């Protein structure tokens, strides 16, 4: 019996390829079933961050620019100085007005004492006039004095009564001007103090300071330029608080949930560096809806285009410190959708939103200056 003939060479190759493709298909099926179907990936992702807009709070002429593009600046650092000549003159005028207001209020308090003493004198004069009129009325009954002298006594009494009413009204007016207040709390002093604080704040705002730490970008100011309130001068980018804006197709979002882990790769570092984060929210609308010229799909030449929704992904602060990203860099995002217990949309504000510390040093300095002027001009009166 003859042995079976060997398979032709071409047949062996086809069999090997068939087996290889079958194994590859089985392997991919297993990979998709156990892993790939739980991942949504996209290259349409970019690093995003806060842009702190540096704008002046007053108008003025720029006399110094103390930062440039790519510089790192710290919170409170002076970036631009404006001409402060007018502001210093206004502050000096406000200080003089406060001192004058305090002295005028002091005069009002002393006027109360003056009118009280005057009222006491008028009361004594009235008592004397009443006594004189009573004696002359008795003398006139037995015709010991003339009628003319009696009329003089009665006129003196009416005059004393009128003068006492005038003194009482003057005292009431003086008390109304200062009643229920002290020098520090008098409305005129408080108004002058408010004007001084306003002038002091205006002077302090001649120095435009950085509201947060970061890197300067988009410098748009020059020395000698006349700037107005709200004009953009710089942008400061704090690179320690970045996130990823990941734009998924609408048919990729049915498994995306808040809290799912995300692996991020950046073209800047390549696949050797991975960033890790979590889904923190999904946009309420597509990018087309929020564009300046949203599409009008009711027209007759409509063509369906798959839309994308931005998904915000937080990034680990420690990893950002070790490998800093830049705003706008391209990213590759991979979301693990295995855990779908999270919400599809946020139901409350996410804690940890970016904020900058408030600087109230100018207000405190203005209050200190007000107290100094009040103490220097109020005298010994409480």
Strand partners, 214: 73
Cβ atoms of 212 and 356 within 8 Å: the answer is yes
Residues 97 and 193 reside in one and the same domain? yes
* Residue 301 maps to a domain: no
> SS3 of 287, please?
coil
Residues 117 and 148 reside in one and the same domain? yes
Residues 186 and 95 reside in one and the same domain? yes
Q: Evaluate if residue 325 carries a pLDDT over 90.
A: yes
Q: Which of 4-8, 145-149, 368-372 has maximum average pLDDT?
A: 368-372
* Residue 303 maps to a domain: no
Residues 109 and 164 reside in one and the same domain? yes
Token pair in block for residue 255: 């498994």
Residues 66 and 170 reside in one and the same domain? no
* Residue 167 maps to a domain: yes
Task: Give the other-Cβ count within 10 Å of 207's Cβ.
Answer: 17
What is the tally of structural domains in the chain?
Answer: 2
CATH number of the domain to which 153 belongs: 1.10.287
* Residue 57 maps to a domain: yes
* Residue 121 maps to a domain: yes
- Among residues 192, 215, 237, which one ends one of the domains? 237
pLDDT of amino acid 28: 67
CATH number of the domain to which 220 belongs: 2.40.50.100
Tens-digit pLDDT profile for residues 67-123? 999 999 998 899 999 999 999 999 999 999 999 999 988 888 888 888 888 888 888
Token pair in block for residue 381: 């009166």
Tens-digit pLDDT profile for residues 13-38? 887 888 888 878 777 676 566 666 77
Cβ atoms of 84 and 208 within 8 Å: the answer is no
Q: Which of 372, 250, 363 is nearest to 311 (CA)?
A: 250
Residues 100 and 169 reside in one and the same domain? yes
Cβ atoms of 246 and 333 within 8 Å: the answer is yes
Question: Residues of the chain with pLDDT > 90: what percent?
Answer: 40
Residues 219 and 368 reside in one and the same domain? no
Distance CA 39, CA 37 (A): 6
Cβ atoms of 264 and 285 within 8 Å: the answer is no
Tens-digit pLDDT profile for residues 151-201? 877 888 888 888 889 888 888 888 887 888 888 888 889 999 999 999 999
Q: Evaluate if residue 48 carries a pLDDT over 90.
A: yes
Residues 372 and 225 reside in one and the same domain? no
* Residue 293 maps to a domain: no
Please, what is the average pLDDT of the chain?
85
Residues 116 and 223 reside in one and the same domain? no
pLDDT of amino acid 6: 54
Residues 63 and 115 reside in one and the same domain? no
Residues 215 and 197 reside in one and the same domain? no
* Residue 317 maps to a domain: no
* Residue 347 maps to a domain: no
Quote the domain boundaries for residue 158: 86-203+363-377
Tens-digit pLDDT profile for residues 261-290? 999 999 999 988 999 999 998 888 887 777
Residues 63 and 211 reside in one and the same domain? yes
Distance CA 335, CA 258 (A): 11
Strand partners, 45: 246, 331
């Amino acid at each position: 019996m003859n042995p079976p003939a060997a398979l032709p060479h071409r047949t062996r190759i086809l069999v090997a390829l068939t087996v290889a493709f079958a194994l590859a298909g089985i392997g991919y099926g297993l990979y998709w079933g156990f892993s790939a179907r739980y991942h949504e990936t996209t290259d349409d992702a970019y690093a995003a961050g806060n842009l702190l807009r540096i704008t002046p709070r007053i108008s003025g002429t720029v006399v110094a620019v103390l930062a440039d593009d790519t510089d790192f600046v710290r919170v409170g650092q002076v970036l631009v100085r404006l001409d402060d000549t007018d502001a210093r003159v206004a502050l000096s005028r406000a200080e003089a007005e406060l001192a004058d207001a305090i002295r005028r209020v002091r005069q009002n308090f002393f006027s109360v004492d003056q009118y009280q003493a005057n009222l006491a004198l008028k009361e004594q004069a009235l008592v004397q006039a009443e006594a004189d009129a009573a004696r002359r009325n008795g003398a006139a009954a037995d015709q010991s004095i003339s009628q003319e002298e009696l009329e003089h006594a009665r006129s003196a009494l009416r005059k004393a009564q009128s003068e006492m009413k005038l003194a009482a009204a003057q005292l009431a007016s003086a008390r109304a001007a200062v009643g229920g207040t002290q020098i520090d709390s008098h409305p005129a002093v408080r108004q002058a103090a408010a004007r001084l604080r306003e002038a002091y704040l205006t002077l302090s705002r001649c120095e435009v300071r950085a509201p947060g730490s970061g890197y300067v970008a988009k410098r748009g100011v020059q020395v000698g330029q006349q700037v107005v309130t709200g004009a953009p001068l710089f942008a400061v980018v704090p690179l320690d608080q970045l996130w990823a804006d990941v734009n998924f197709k609408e048919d990729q979002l049915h498994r995306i949930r808040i809290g799912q882990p995300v692996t991020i790769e950046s073209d800047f570092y390549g696949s050797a560096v991975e960033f890790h984060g979590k889904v923190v929210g999904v946009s309420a609308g597509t990018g087309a809806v929020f564009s300046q010229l949203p599409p009008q799909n009711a027209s007759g030449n409509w063509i369906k285009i798959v839309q994308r929704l931005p998904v915000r992904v937080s990034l680990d602060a420690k990893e950002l410190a070790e490998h800093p990203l830049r705003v706008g860099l391209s990213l590759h995002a991979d979301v693990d959708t295995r855990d779908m217990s999270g919400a599809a949309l946020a139901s409350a504000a996410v804690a940890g939103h970016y904020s900058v510390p408030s600087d109230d040093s100018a207000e405190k300095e203005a209050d200190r200056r007000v107290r100094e002027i009040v103490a220097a001009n109020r005298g010994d009166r409480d």
